[in-house]
Amino acid sequence: MDDRTISVVIVDDHAVLREGTRQILERAGGFTLVGEAAEGETAVGLVAEHHPDVVLLDLRLPGINGVEVARRMAEVSPSTRVVVLSAFDEIDYVQAALGAGVAGYLLKTTPADELVGAVRAACSGVLVLDPGLSGYLVRDRGDGAVTSGVEALTTREREVVRLVAQGLANKAIASELGISPRTVEGHLNHVFEKVGASSRSALVRLAMVNGLIDSR
């Protein structure tokens, strides 16, 4: 990330929690709060109007649930990175959120400095996941969560996936690995075919859930 200010929308039905999150970001500096919402319809409207860099989204909301809110936000503002900030660490919540395309899943117990770092990382294109959840997902993955395609990835393909997760474009990945952009493209095509992913974001989410890359 450069030194520009990161625009943020906070969505939580508890005013005290919105206030606390706002104060954390304000104290850290480098953030601009462009809106707050206590329920889903208003939240989606704010994102459609302001196209913020990052949304911090609670999953338990009145009216539309947070997973559906995340899906709608992706439709009205594809560039916005939605990071779940939830009190719930159940596997079903995490998998549903990742399936909706969120850029991260954090718990409300996340320390202030880690929350700030995670928001900045998410804005940079990194998928962020609470460290405790990362191990939980790996331990509890069920039938089909780790596919033969994932297991078949070569060492080089895993390196490419790791760099994709850091938000690097093909040219930057090529420079990092000392190979040509065309070779990177070839590796990615093979990876997509092996794991059945249809986009870079889907690939990163799959790799995260299967423990192929770090959460931070």
pLDDT single digits (tens) 72-95: 999 999 999 999 999 888 777 887
Q: Which overall architecture, per CATH, does domain 6-140 show?
A: 3-Layer(aba) Sandwich (3.40)
pLDDT digits (tens, 9 = 90+) for 181-199: 999 999 998 888 877 776 7
Q: In degrees to the nearest 10, what's the CA dihedral of 155, 160, 161, 164?
A: 170
What is the C-alpha end-to-end distance of the chain, expressed in Å? 15
**Where are the domains positioned within the chain?**
6-140, 148-209
Contact call for residues 160 and 185 (beta carbons, < 8 A): no
**pLDDT per position as a tens digit, 33-65:** 999 999 999 999 999 999 999 999 999 998 888
Q: Which structure tokens are listed for 114?
A: 């880690």
pLDDT class for 3, splitting at 50, 70, 90?
low
Query: In this predicted model, which residue has the larger pLDDT, 42 or 140?
Result: 42
What does DSSP say about strands 81-86 and 104-107: parallel, antiparallel, or unpaired? Answer: parallel
**For the ranges 35-39, 86-90, 110-114, 127-131, the one whose mean pLDDT is highest:** 35-39
* Tokens 């809110």, located at residue: 69
Distance between CA atoms of residues 138 and 5, nearest Å: 35
What is the domain class of 148-209 according to CATH? mainly alpha
The residue behind tokens 């990175």 is: 81
Taking the C-alpha atoms of residue 141 and residue 23, their distance in angstroms, rounded to an integer, is: 36
Q: Tell me the mean pLDDT in the region 189-214.
A: 74
